[in-house]
Amino acid sequence: MSVPHVTINVDDIGMCHGANTAFVELSKAGRVDSGSLMLPCPWASEMIDLGLDDPSLNIGLHLTLTSEKKYYRWRPLTAAGKASGLVDDDGYQWRSVPELRRNADPSAVEDELRAQIERFLGTGLNPAHMDGHMGAVFSPEFYDIYIRLGQEYGLPTLYPASIVAYGPYHNLGEVEDGFYRERAEVLSASGHGLVDRVLETPWHLRGTAADRYTDLFGQIGGGVNYFALHVNAPGEISLIEPESAEVRIQEYQFLASDEFGRWLEGQSFSRGTLPR
């Protein structure tokens, strides 16, 4: 049996300064393999500069169609109006994926995704991969657009083998796995790599951090394993996201710990960015 491949990725970089700080520290320490940048967010420019200064940071694109915080919000790059269905009554991206699915015009979604890809490529960064914030791009209404853009731009793109193998699928609302398996078969037949499981941050504080992440990393199986983590250094995150800030902070602290470092050194799986 082949050795499993593991990509330890940090989602939501560019969202705030603390997300950028935590990602850079863990990347330089060899604890994470890549990060996913949210271009519509307020601290994206800082992360772009950091990535240009140090290409070893392996920055990918976190296509962003939702803005879920209560007060800390962002808008589409396309400056889309209400008729596009991309924004709520305040002009911000919808807070949830089901709201996006009910309202967004697929053509406006394609325009926005294309604008984010073009913006990323225009920075001079070399994209490590492409994936999606809160799984919005995996909505049945938009997934074929996402697949087409990944192929058009030739980017390493996260394609799950099934939607139930995609940890954040709980954000999507009602979906049918057969829809995704059909597309996975076509993608695989045309030579595109599939991700066997996407393992997400445990969004609770039960037990110790060591317990939570021992369980999470214990779910590594054969094939390609992609971790969608959400580390954040202490600071403004406690105001931005008070309900789950401590989850992000403890995740950062655990990945920075000697305990996790020793565990990583003892593993035999291969590591790196998302395979094509």
The pTM of the full predicted model, rounded to 2 decimals, is: 0.97
Mean pLDDT throughout 252-264? 97
Assess contact for 233 and 248: CB atoms under 8 A: no
Backbone φ and ψ of 194, nearest 5°: -110, 150
DSSP 42-79: TTHHHHHHHHHH-GGG-EEEEE------SS-----TT-
For the chain, state the CA radius of gyration.
Answer: 18
Scored b (16 or more CB within 10 A) or e, 218-228 reads: eebeebbbbbb
What tens digit of pLDDT does each residue of 42-58 get?
Answer: 999 999 999 999 999 99
pLDDT score of 175: 97
Percent of the chain with pLDDT over 70: 100
DSSP alpha helices (H): ranges in 190-231? 209-217
Would you give the DSSP letter of residue 190?
A: T
- Structural domains present in the chain: 5-271 (3.20.20.370)
What tens digit of pLDDT does each residue of 96-154 get?
Answer: 999 999 999 999 999 999 999 999 999 999 999 999 999 999 999 999 999 999 999 99
Assess contact for 104 and 81: CB atoms under 8 A: no
- Spatial CB neighbours of 218, under 8 Å, sequence gap ≥ 6: none
pLDDT score of 84: 97
Mean pLDDT throughout 174-187? 97
Closest CA to 23 of 57, 48, 67: 57
Confidence of residue 1 (pLDDT cuts 50, 70, 90): very low
- Can you tell me the distance from the alpha carbon of 115 to that of 208, in angstroms, rounded to the nearest whole number? 41
- Can you tell me the distance from the alpha carbon of 164 to that of 161, in angstroms, rounded to the nearest whole number? 9
Query: What dihedral angle (degrees, nearest 10) is formed by the CA atoms of 237, 260, 273, 171?
Result: -50
Closest CA to 169 of 107, 98, 116: 98
Confidence of residue 226 (pLDDT cuts 50, 70, 90): very high
Closest CA to 141 of 192, 170, 181, 99: 99
Helices (H) and strands (E) in the chain, counts: 10, 7
Confidence of residue 80 (pLDDT cuts 50, 70, 90): confident
